[in-house]
Structure 1
Amino acid sequence: MSALPKAALYYSPNSIWASVPLLALEEKGYGADEVDLKVVDISKGENFEPTYLRLNPGGTVPTLVVPLQKTLSPEIESRYKAIQDTKSIVEFLDKSRSAQSRTHTTSTAPSPSLAPATIAFNAASHEIVDLLHSQAADPNALFYMNARSETELKALATKLIPFLVGRRDALARLLTESDAGNISASDKTRSFWQVKKIATDKFLQVFEEAEKSEGELSDDARQRREEYLKSSHAAWTALKDVLITLNKEIIGPYALGDQLSIADLHLAAWLSRIASLSGATPAEDGTSVLGKIEAHVGDEFTLPKEFSVVEARRRAGLVAGNIEPSERQNKLAAFWDAIKERPSWKKVYGAGLH
């Protein structure tokens, strides 16, 4: 008898949004053999290869490929569909392993529902998740725009140039092979590659001259640097409103109160990326991490500390220790303290934030 068909999660280990389904797999108690994990090396442009674009035309990770329910029997040829966005993937994983689902499972671990229990909580969850995926909150943009001075630009260039060169070379190779007829690609795909290559080249033009002083730059290069630094300032300034809104909207210690929900998985991945960009580490507590984020945002930005640390830890099932009853923290700091103690977060981020 042939093995039952399995889902496959295509992901990149350092991708922020690919981390969300990885957290979901752990929180939902999926067995290690229930979902095939397939690494997509985005530093080599594997997400732009024609074989991957057939699964996800946007070239993004993650992608979850799942067998259709009517073809789950070993006697029937399996057919699959690809789920191409993080929100839908996590909702699918939540529904597919539950007391009501008929999905084959080898795990005996608990499978708590991550979906909000009420209409009001569902609406609140959607608002939080939509905000995290909005342009103002875009963590991938902040990843590339994490320099607001010439000194920061030099440091960031050292980190990003190898990644961007690998991406550019992969796109150039695909375009060349398409021109030569070695690979088949539609006009739409070729246009997609060209747009991505132009965007990559634009960043490289700035980063590859980061070691030069302003006086050594050509007029065009100086203008590119000025535009980059201006855009970086604007991106991090816009983040203030995002942080203020999140700190206001989440109930604490988790997004919807005492119980973990889908919104928390998105928030955990997003906040871990922002913390990483701000120089924080997994070992730090919430007050320290949010302090670094506030300092990195700049302009003396601070979030109100109105949440009892003792109460937050009690609700999260954590020991309060010698914390003074009067000690307060912002709700995002309380969230960090709660989420970082979960086995799922430790598995995804224990070796380092990304």
Structure 2
Amino acid sequence: MRNQTFRSYFAYAILALAIASGCTKKKEEKNEVDPNAYLQVSDVQHKKFYFSRGAEDASSDNLIGAVPGFSQDFGVVEARVTESELQFIQVFVPNGRTATNQVIASYKITDHFDIQNDTNDFGEKTHKIVEDRKRPWDQRKYMRVDWATPTNNLSGFASSMVGVKGLEENTVLLETAKIEPGHISFLVETSVLGSRVTYRTHLTAAKPSDYKPIAYSLKDFEKFGYFYTQQNFEDMEKGLRDDGIKRFAETFNVCEASGAGSCATNKITWVLSKDFPEFYKDETKRAIAEWNKVFQEALGRTDTVVDLDTTVQADISDSRRNVINMFMHEVSFKGLLGVAQGIKDPETGEVIS
């Protein structure tokens, strides 16, 4: 009888422990944060970015010369977060004047908030993850930005082909902004002088580089190429002088195998744009192979200098990548064979993409 009673007590004890452990089991966290794209303030505040905008589509009869693949390079900017705006400030002015701190583009901040576990009436943390706005705005870790329309007009779409700059109207954000480590992009459609234009803005984190600028004279450029970055440094007393003009060749950071730094092993990788026609891929591969041979011979290298990564398909204006684009639709400016524009470092001439 005593053993039976002991077994009964033991069974009740095990059952009580099971019930207690079930009651204290931690609940799975429930994320109640609005999924709309948001930024961590520390990822952008006082960080430097290459800022560019590229046309991805445009009405064939547009009046501003917008051609898919055409892009605007706004140079290097520094992000500044205020209570109401995310501002991008020009950090280098090629003419050498002190007119820096110019806001190249700014976008409305719609919310500042923290993300944390909610608390119950007893001040205990719960399993719910929520947005919180108790702290002052400048101490909150996250923010949401309205990327549709800049709050200033300095970043308005312009075409260098015809020199027209028009007011953007009826602008809409076509997709949620893509926020990735070191990169932000967003696609909008707008009307400029009555013409429809779809463009994507890219903000790519500026990274340290060991690139060595190559200074050429105009006579050198007549021999070696057209593309260069020019800086006009004005003397405060005498104005612009010939010795204040610097011209740097726009080149990739590749060099001879004997060169110092990463340029001796760097390579130039190309990717294809989205919806690139299958029919042209083999010819594109052959063209890349020929480019590689030329670079190998010129630099005296035996490793791959130029290659094609077919595993990636990119937006035609992606500032992180060298994109070969085939646009099959009708465009304005009859006779145009192609568009070759890139993102360069305004201080050195290094080609970023």
Taking structure 2 as the reference length, the TM-score comes to: 0.30
Bigger radius of gyration? 2
Q: Could you say which structure has the higher strand fraction?
A: 2
Q: Could you say which structure has the higher helix fraction?
A: 1
